[in-house]
């Protein structure tokens, strides 16, 4: 399943999250084609771009690559501030803190047009940008200080954009979204078969006020820069039952055994403590078990920050992903979950997935956003918005975009959560 895995040991060992304050991420998806199938037979692909070339973009955004996983279908990067995923046809970039995500758009377009082979006049097929309300918007760098400034910047880069404020504006749960349409009817018609046949859904869960006992598992006593701090060696021995992608110091590719089974890293990982602790937390918290491993091949690339915090990219059957990021400090506790895994293909509903995620964190408040292609069942969206056990629904919004339908739902925990 995993063709390559790389760890940036120096950045991973020295990283210090003590000054982190802004958990809610900025999420940007830029599509250059409807799907990967529509690019077959061409030399166009964002996977033509090397890690070193992506790092030039990330330097502008102000984050670093901690590790990366490369399968036959996607490249996944755990970043110092969240995650990035490169598919042949789209880039998903999610960053937290005071990162300047939108400022990286010109460099992203340059990379797509030149290195990825889309051509000097290529324009994105679709763009999605979103985030929940920031905790400290005044600490953000331009253009992220206000939604008005962000929209103005996005409009300067893209055509046909529409901006939305979703949910109760008097609540901390409201959510901002910017979406571009596509007015090239000839191109849309040419890709029509691909669009209809290709499954497309993304679900995001944004959680605050984590139950303290659940948040505590994302703290560590390791010191920044300490690659030999004891207290994590015994945890390596507990890593069983899942392919945790923690790269050996030799930087050789992860291999399978004689029967083709992906390896666990129990007792064999020589990686930095952050990645080893990340793998341990992934197993012990239940994060590695959100999708059934008897029906899916799951590889988890995860990292525990010091003194606290956690990031993980999980690759499901080479081509799907889910990503989790946690800021566990009690005064601003936050966790996010995002996935493009079609739950039905693994014998689950989206409700099942949500309940598994909630069991990891037990948040006091959460919002759930589901984007689905129009060819999916609208009935699924309505079913998805029902009440969850232990929570009451406080808001529900349905939108129809160009080619997509979206449901946005907010919940609060009923008193007595455990």
Q: How confident is the model at residue 8 (pLDDT cuts 50, 70, 90)?
A: low
Question: Which of 5, 9, 17, 25 does the annotation list as catalytic?
Answer: 25
Q: Which range has the worst mean pLDDT, 70-74, 180-184, 297-301?
A: 180-184
Whether 164 shows a pLDDT value over 70: the answer reads yes
Q: Which range has the worst mean pLDDT, 80-84, 193-197, 296-300, 386-390?
A: 193-197
Whether 91 shows a pLDDT value over 70: the answer reads yes
Fold of 209-413: 3.60.90
Per the annotation, the verdict on 308 as an active-site residue is no
Question: Which of 311, 333, 336, 367 does the annotation list as catalytic?
Answer: 311
What is the CATH architecture of 4-197? 4-Layer Sandwich (3.60)
Q: What is the mean pLDDT of residues 76-98?
A: 96
Per the annotation, the verdict on 80 as an active-site residue is no
Q: Which range has the worst mean pLDDT, 86-90, 254-258, 339-343?
A: 254-258
Q: 249 with 241: CB under 8 angstroms? A: no
For the beta carbon of residue 266, count every other beta carbon within 10 angstroms.
15
Q: What is the DSSP string of 20-35?
A: ----SPEEEEEESSS-
Question: Which of 5, 9, 17, 22 does the annotation list as catalytic?
Answer: 22
pLDDT given for residue 331 in this prediction = 87
Euclidean distance between CA atoms 178 and 186, whole angstroms: 24
pLDDT given for residue 136 in this prediction = 84
CATH 3.60.90.10 positions along the chain are 4-197, 209-413
Whether 152 shows a pLDDT value over 90: the answer reads yes
Percent of all residues in the chain with a pLDDT value above 70, rounded to a whole number = 75
Average pLDDT, the chain: 83
Phi, psi values for residue 20, rounded to 5°:
-65, 140
Q: What is the DSSP string of 50-114?
A: -HHHHHHHHHHHT--EEEEEE-SS-EEEEETTEEEEE-SSEEEEEE-TT--TGGGHHHHHHHHHH
More confident residue, 343 or 418: 343
pLDDT given for residue 389 in this prediction = 87
C-alpha triplet 64, 70, 76: angle, nearest 5°: 45
Question: Which of 45, 68, 80, 82 does the annotation list as catalytic?
Answer: 82
Q: What is the mean pLDDT of residues 189-202?
A: 57
More confident residue, 271 or 170: 170
Summarize pLDDT for 308-339 with one digit per residue, the tens: 999 999 999 989 999 999 999 988 899 999 99
Question: Which of 325, 333, 372, 381 does the annotation list as catalytic?
Answer: 325
Per the annotation, the verdict on 37 as an active-site residue is no
pLDDT given for residue 104 in this prediction = 98
pLDDT given for residue 227 in this prediction = 52
pLDDT given for residue 214 in this prediction = 95
Per the annotation, the verdict on 374 as an active-site residue is no
**161-166 vs 126-132, strand pairing mode:** unpaired
Per the annotation, the verdict on 349 as an active-site residue is no
pLDDT given for residue 155 in this prediction = 98
Q: pTM of the predicted model, to two decimals? A: 0.86
Total number of residues shown for the chain: 418
Query: Tokens at residue 232, please?
Result: 């994590």
Question: Which of 9, 29, 68, 96 does the annotation list as catalytic?
Answer: 96
For the chain, how long is the longest CA-to-CA vector?
Answer: 61
């Amino acid at each position: 399943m995993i063709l390559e895995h790389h760890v940036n040991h120096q950045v991973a060992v020295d990283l210090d999250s003590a000054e982190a304050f802004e958990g809610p991420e900025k999420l940007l998806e830029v599509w250059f084609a409807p799907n990967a199938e529509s690019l077959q037979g061409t030399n166009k692909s964002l996977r033509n771009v090397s890690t070193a070339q992506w790092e030039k973009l990330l330097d502008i955004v102000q984050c670093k690559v901690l590790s990366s996983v490369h399968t036959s279908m996607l490249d996944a990067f755990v970043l110092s501030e969240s995650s990035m995923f490169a598919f042949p046809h789209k880039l998903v970039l999610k960053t937290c803190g005071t990162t300047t995500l939108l400022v990286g758009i010109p460099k992203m377009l340059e990379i797509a047009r030149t290195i990825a082979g889309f051509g000097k006049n290529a324009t994105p097929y679709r763009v999605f940008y979103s985030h929940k309300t920031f905790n400290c918007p005044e600490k953000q760098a331009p253009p992220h200080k206000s939604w008005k400034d962000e929209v103005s910047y996005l409009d300067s880069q893209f055509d046909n954009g529409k901006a939305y404020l979703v949910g109760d504006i008097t609540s901390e749960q409201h959510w901002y979204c910017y979406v571009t349409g596509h007015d090239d009817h000839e191109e849309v018609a040419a890709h029509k078969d691909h669009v209809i046949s290709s499954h497309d859904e993304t679900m995001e869960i944004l959680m605050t006020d984590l139950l303290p006992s659940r948040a505590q598992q994302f703290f560590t006593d390791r010191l920044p820069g300490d690659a030999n701090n004891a207290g994590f060696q015994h945890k390596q021995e507990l890593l069983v039952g899942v392919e945790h992608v923690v790269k050996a110091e030799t930087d050789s590719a992860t291999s399978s055994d004689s029967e083709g089974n992906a390896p666990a890293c129990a007792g064999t990982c020589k990686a930095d403590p952050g990645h080893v602790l990340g793998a341990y937390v992934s197993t012990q918290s239940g994060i590695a078990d959100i999708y059934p491993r008897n029906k899916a091949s799951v590889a988890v690339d995860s990292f525990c920050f010091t003194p606290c915090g956690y990031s993980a990219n999980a690759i499901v059957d080479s081509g799907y992903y889910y990503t989790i990021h946690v800021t566990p400090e009690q005064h601003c506790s936050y966790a996010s979950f995002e996935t493009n895994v079609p739950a039905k293909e693994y014998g689950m509903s989206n409700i099942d997935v949500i309940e598994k995620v909630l069991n990891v964190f037990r948040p006091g408040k959460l919002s759930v956003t589901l984007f689905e292609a129009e060819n999916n069942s609208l009935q699924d969206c309505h079913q998805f918005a029902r009440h969850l056990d232990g929570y009451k629904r406080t808001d529900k919004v349905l939108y129809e975009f160009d080619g997509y339908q979206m449901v946005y739902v907010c919940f609060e925990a009923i008193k007595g959560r455990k």
